[in-house]
Amino acid sequence: MRRVVITGTGTITPVGNDKDTFWKNIKDGVCGVDLVTRFDTTEFACRIGAEVKDFNPEDYLDKKEAKRMDRYTQYAMAAAKMAIADSKLDMEKEDATKVGVIVASGVGGMETLENQANALANKGPGRVSPFFIPMMISNMAAGQVAIMTGAKGLNFCITSACASGTHAIGEAFRAIKNGDADVMITGGAEAAITPLSYAGFCSMKALSTNNDDPKGASCPFDKNRDGFIMGEGSGILVLEELEHAKARGANIVAEVVGYGATDDAHHITAPAPDGEGGARAMQLAIDNAGISADEVDYINAHGTSTPYNDKFETAAIKKVFGDYAYKLAVSSTKSMTGHLLGAAGAVEAIICALALNEGYIPATINHKEDDPDCDLDYVFNQGREKEIRYALSNSLGFGGHNATVLLKKFEA
Known active-site residue 302: yes
In this structure, the answer to whether residues 185 and 290 fall within a common structural domain is no
**Whole-angstrom Cα distance, residue 15 to residue 32?**
5
- Strand-pair category, 99-104 with 155-156: parallel
Of 199, 220, 247, the residue at which a domain comes to its end is 247
In this structure, are residues 402 and 280 in contact, taking their beta carbons and an 8 Å threshold?
A: yes
In the set 31, 46, 157, 162, the catalytic residue is 162
CB-neighbour burial class of residue 395 (10 A; exposed 0-12, middle 13-18, buried 19+): buried
Residue 286 amino acid letter:
I
| Domain-embedded: residue 252 | no
Positions of the chain with pLDDT lower than 50, given as ranges: none
| Domain-embedded: residue 382 | yes
3-state secondary structure 198-215: HHHHHHHCCECCCCCCHH
Of 217, 247, 277, the residue at which a domain comes to its end is 247
In this structure, the answer to whether residues 195 and 72 fall within a common structural domain is yes
Each residue's pLDDT tens digit, 215-246: 999 999 999 999 999 999 999 999 999 999 99
Enclosing domain of residue 103: 4-247
| Domain-embedded: residue 146 | yes
Q: Residue 127 contacts by C-beta under 8 Å, 6 or more apart in sequence?
A: 119, 120
Known active-site residue 267: no
In this structure, the answer to whether residues 213 and 288 fall within a common structural domain is no
pLDDT, averaged across the chain:
98
Count helices and strands in the chain by DSSP H and E runs: 13, 14
| Domain-embedded: residue 111 | yes
In the set 339, 352, 367, 374, the catalytic residue is 339
For residue 71, the domain's CATH number is 3.40.47.10
Of 247, 271, 296, the residue at which a domain comes to its end is 247
* pTM (two decimals): 0.97
Q: What is the DSSP letter of 123?
A: H
In this structure, the answer to whether residues 209 and 154 fall within a common structural domain is yes
In this structure, the answer to whether residues 195 and 344 fall within a common structural domain is no
Each residue's pLDDT tens digit, 165-190: 999 999 999 999 999 999 999 999 99
| Domain-embedded: residue 202 | yes
CB-neighbour burial class of residue 238 (10 A; exposed 0-12, middle 13-18, buried 19+): buried
| Domain-embedded: residue 99 | yes
In the set 302, 352, 367, 374, the catalytic residue is 302
In this structure, the answer to whether residues 19 and 167 fall within a common structural domain is yes
In this structure, the answer to whether residues 39 and 177 fall within a common structural domain is yes
Go through the chain and tell me how many residues it has: 412
Domain count, the chain: 2
Residue 237 has a pLDDT of 98
- Strand-pair category, 384-385 with 390-397: unpaired
**Whole-angstrom Cα distance, residue 186 to residue 184?**
6
Query: In 3-state terms, what secondary structure has residue 185?
Result: strand
In this structure, the answer to whether residues 285 and 384 fall within a common structural domain is yes
H or E element at residue 406: strand 401-408
Known active-site residue 157: no
